[in-house]
Structure 1
Amino acid sequence: MRPVRVEEAEVVAHWLRLEPDASDDPSALSRADALDALLTANPGAAAFVWQVRPATWYRLRLPRERFGRLRVIEGPEELGWHALSPDGTVLGAARRIEEGTTRLPDSSTIDVDLVERLADDLARGEALPAVVATTRRGCAPTHVVDGNHRATATGLHLLRTGAYEPLEAYLGVGANPVLAPIRERLCGAARRLLDGDSIQ
């Protein structure tokens, strides 16, 4: 599947359909209401939709090489998916599960059993729903923002069988801000000089 450009509304509707706590049918919602429902159902992860704006969205199958570089959702080291994947990659998380070296806090929302069940589904030839991932133009990493369990199951299936079933994804590609950070730093320096504000 060659990358196909899609609207953000399609991505939000797809994501919302997969959220267990979402009560509304996304096809019956306006664009704004669907995004609001997603932010209500999954405020932490859904915030990534805002972080890459403006973004161009694509639906594609990730080639094996790109899948090997795919990273788990961003977050603090030693917490969440990064507790499972010390190198931050989806394959790193899958390796830890395959090796049986998963030591996660009881409060973790990562369901290792679910990852293993999904990998078994792939082994039976079943397809998994597309993940949602984001990146920025240039040489920026690609992070899964929804579907870390599905992506890790794909990696686990690869490690167990040697076969890569191309992972379907919605990929949001945002701009790499260049001028805005420079402008913000110059503004901060001017405020320090003019106002004596030493915090900035």
Structure 2
Amino acid sequence: MELAKHTLGLELNDTTKPFEVHMTHSRKELLDIIRIFKLPITNKNDKNKKQLQSAIVEVVRFLDNVEPEQEYFFINSKEELIEYLQKQNPAKTLTIKEKTEVMLIAKKLIAYSRNGYYLLPSGYMDAVDVYKDASYIAKFPEIPSVRKAIEYVNKDPKLRDKIEMVIPRRVKKQLDKRKAVKQANIPLYVKRGEFILTFD
């Protein structure tokens, strides 16, 4: 530990506690994090995933801060980087089969909502089944149909508890960008004709 501090020339921040990198962050992503945030880790390409996790934890704990990054990770501070590493990777790729299943459930919930929240015609026996389906797909907010389904289901008067869907910072930033681009592309219509101006 002391050798690592001396080698890196960093001071340990007493408020930084040891943390674990969530297993859903792939080796490739860890290498991207090292590169993008310029973490001083030697021989990174020779390390396996577990070794990279340990190296990142050791280095990040000693950092005063990190350079803000607004293109991919949308991280502004050391604390946000640690929080990101500790949580499940929001961009974890679903298999084709898993994504198809999630989208089918979302489609079913949307149909259920649009049909007046009637259970049986939509294939549900009770509100508990609706809640289970909605809670499951809420883990994948990066899928547009999921966000729409949860928005509808949360208006169901039969559900006592709302479905909480935490949209990852990265996804939210991407949505904000798309919204801004969409608004910027709205055509401006100019009404042509003759106008009479009167002055008092």
TM bracket, shorter-chain basis: under 0.3
TM value normalised by structure 2? 0.27
Structure of higher CA gyration radius: 2
- Specify which structure has the higher proportion of strand: 1
